[in-house]
Amino acid sequence: MRFAEALARPGLGAIAEFKRRSPSMGDIRPDARIEELVSEYAASGASAVSVLVDAAFAGTVDDLVAARAATTAPLLAKGFFSTEEHLLELRRAGADAVLLILRDLDDATTARLLAYASELGMDALVEAHDEKELQRAFALQAPIVGVNARDLSTFKIDRRTQLDLVARAAGHRLVIAESAVHTRAQAAAAELAGADAVLVGTSLLQAADPGAKLHELLSRPLVKVCGLTRQEDVDAAVEGGADMLGFILVDKSPRRAAVVLDVPDTALSVAVFVGQAEETGADLVQLYPDDGGTVRGRHALIMRDGEHVATLLDQPWEGRDPEHWERAAGAEGRIVLAGGLGPENVRAAIAAVHPWAVDASSSLESEPGIKDHARVRAYIQEART
């Protein structure tokens, strides 16, 4: 299967990276055996495997040869390439795709290498890290664009800019979010911005079990804890493994939060509104229509920067629909299942509906707006099992 074809499959894909060290961190896994890891990556859901062949990462072209012998997964050669001779060597070593870094290449060279890669039957991942480079990638008509959250000159991470650039490129070509993905929520943030895949390396190689870590990053459903009003409850939910934290900013709700509380960048914050949303700085907005009667309706839009990215399906306010799960199972798109979920039934709900995320609030409380930390942990554990 071609590299581009593998990344174009439905759902969020992953390019799992092999490297022994990095210039910014030093040694990561110096004794790593590529023959073992690439097979583990492929078995754990990787769409493709990235192999660093540059000495700065303790890699060589021999690693690419070894990877090709160990797996049939598409291979991306990563390094600092600038000539046709580089690309020919990589192709002969088994690469299906090559990285072209716009920071280091002018447009004429990039265009020439794109054409030559195509002649060799290779795909090319054209990497940008800022607006100017993204515009260059557009002008070059690069079919696959990678947006790196890491500035290769300073090694600083700017995830917000990365996601904005991913959103700009999404829908027009294949888009890969590169670097700084350590949690499911960070991978999901790239997915919601429009990324077809994430490129993940350091977090895998730092894990005791890289394959299990890759599976975790791609696994669904995400787990949302909503109705949070206290920082200590937010902290307990994050510590327990919640991916999304919800804050209800609705006057009539018994779980009204004064503000969106602090959420680390390992998770996603969600501001919940009825009728009209306001700016809060939250990562996502959950917007219910105003039905003029009850506190909220049943269905809400999950929005990122005003774009509808998922749909939340809920039970009636203070009511129950016995066909709720059945209806939700037939819904299309990314579905966030809510309504009466807790430790006792969330696993059954997931099996029945297969949602993109699950959401619980009142069932995790000792009183309205106050979470029972033991129930929060139990719910998250059951949902992630």
This prediction's pTM = 0.94
d(CA 83, CA 276): 54
- Read off the DSSP letter of residue 363: G
State yes or no: pLDDT of 191 exceeds 90: yes
d(CA 119, CA 115): 6
State yes or no: pLDDT of 155 exceeds 80: no
* Predicted local distance difference test score (pLDDT) of residue 16: 98
State yes or no: pLDDT of 169 exceeds 80: yes
d(CA 277, CA 308): 13
- Cβ–Cβ under 8 Å, residues 53 and 90: yes
Give the mean model confidence (pLDDT) for residues 178-198.
96
State yes or no: pLDDT of 294 exceeds 90: no
- Read off the DSSP letter of residue 315: P
Q: What is the per-residue burial (b if ≥16 Cβ within 10 Å, else e) of 177-186?
A: bbbbbbbbbb
- Cβ–Cβ under 8 Å, residues 63 and 93: no
- Per-residue pLDDT tens digits for 69-115: 999 999 999 999 999 999 999 999 999 999 999 999 999 999 999 99
- Cβ–Cβ under 8 Å, residues 362 and 339: no
* Predicted local distance difference test score (pLDDT) of residue 195: 97
Tokens read off for 96: 């299906």
* Predicted local distance difference test score (pLDDT) of residue 190: 98
* Predicted local distance difference test score (pLDDT) of residue 172: 80
Give the mean model confidence (pLDDT) for residues 212-227.
97
* Predicted local distance difference test score (pLDDT) of residue 171: 84
- Per-residue pLDDT tens digits for 246-278: 999 999 899 999 999 999 999 999 999 999 999
Residues 6+ apart with CB under 8 A from 177: 146, 147, 149, 162, 163, 166, 190, 193, 195, 197, 198, 199
- Per-residue pLDDT tens digits for 5-50: 999 999 999 999 999 998 878 888 988 899 999 999 999 999 999 9
pLDDT above 70 as % of the chain: 99
Q: What is the per-residue burial (b if ≥16 Cβ within 10 Å, else e) of 117-137?
A: beeeebbbbbbbbbeebbebb
Residue type, 308: H
* Predicted local distance difference test score (pLDDT) of residue 290: 85
Q: Please name the residue that has the structure tokens 């299309």.
A: 332
